[in-house]
Amino acid sequence: MSESASESAGVDPLDGDPRLPVHFGAAWTAVEAFHDLLVREGVLRGLVGPREVARLWERHLLNSAAVVPFLPPARRIVDLGSGAGLPGLIVAAMLPDAEVVLLEPMERRTDWLSEVVGTLALSNAVVLRGRAEDIDDLGADVVTARAVASLDKLYRWAFPLLRIGGTLVALKGERAAAEVQAAAKAGREVGAGKAEILAAPTLEGLEPTTVVRVRRDREGRPRR
């Protein structure tokens, strides 16, 4: 990150917070190293905005980790539109027994993801370049998504990647309930069950995030 970008970013108030290593547990070493990579290169490589550097922990890393308690047991997790690796790289660090596929269409981002996977020695993470709408039959137990698209689009992109009985787990904001309602028809078309809207806390004193969790109950209409 350039000096000017660093100066404009300010200091993250959670840097050095003793609760962070406890919160991330065995994944802490990898998560801290990922944080440091984002601080050094995230802005330069167009992965985060300059103002996000001062809130990486709360807005991005803790937010990503908040999804983990809501993931059902899984052998294969697909992180849809992985981008900078949020939440996929955090999930891979926290769930070393699951294969985590980082699905991303942009080459510069898959290059970044591959570099980070190598640097952090995340042997359970696999980088796959492609668009979700062009891929079928990944047989995922879980698909995660964060800041990718509205829920109706996520249904169309994510559900063909899931096995029957698999689950979409999406990090959403304050409009989660409105998105669930607006996407009801799209959900029925792809075989979705009832969507759950769940509060996902992080550290005491921080705003919880919102998780939408939906199971693929049955076959849906084939893609057009």
Residue given tokens 């709408």 in the structure block: 133
Q: Are 213 and 168 in contact (CB under 8 A)?
A: yes
- Of the pLDDT bands very low, low, confident and very high (cuts 50, 70, 90), residue 222 is low
CB count, 10 Å around CB of 101?
23
| Tens-digit pLDDT profile for residues 180-205 | 999 999 999 999 999 999 999 999 99
Superfamily of the domain at 59-215: Vaccinia Virus protein VP39 (3.40.50.150)
Question: What is this structure's pTM?
Answer: 0.92
The total number of residues written for the chain in this structure: 224
| Tens-digit pLDDT profile for residues 128-183 | 999 998 987 789 999 999 989 999 999 999 999 999 999 999 999 889 999 999 99
Give the pLDDT of residue 223. 59
- Show the tokens assigned to 176: 């989660």
222 or 124: which leads in pLDDT: 124
For residue 17, the SS3 value is coil
Residue 32 parent element (H or E) = helix 28-41
Give the pLDDT of residue 49. 93
Instruction: Please count the helices (runs of H) and the strands (runs of E) in the chain.
Output: 9, 7
Q: Which residues contact 50 (CB under 8 A, 6 or more apart)?
A: 5, 8, 9, 43
- Show the tokens assigned to 164: 């029957």
Give the pLDDT of residue 70. 97
Whole-angstrom distance, CA of residue 139 vs CA of residue 195? 20
Nearest to 89 by CA among 59, 57, 121: 121
Whole-angstrom distance, CA of residue 86 vs CA of residue 179? 21
For residue 44, the SS3 value is coil
Query: In terms of DSSP H, where are the helices of 68-183?
Result: 88-94, 107-120, 151-158, 176-182
Distance between start and end Cα atoms, the chain: 43
| Tens-digit pLDDT profile for residues 60-119 | 999 999 999 999 999 999 999 999 999 999 999 999 999 999 999 999 999 999 999 999
14 pLDDT higher than 70: yes
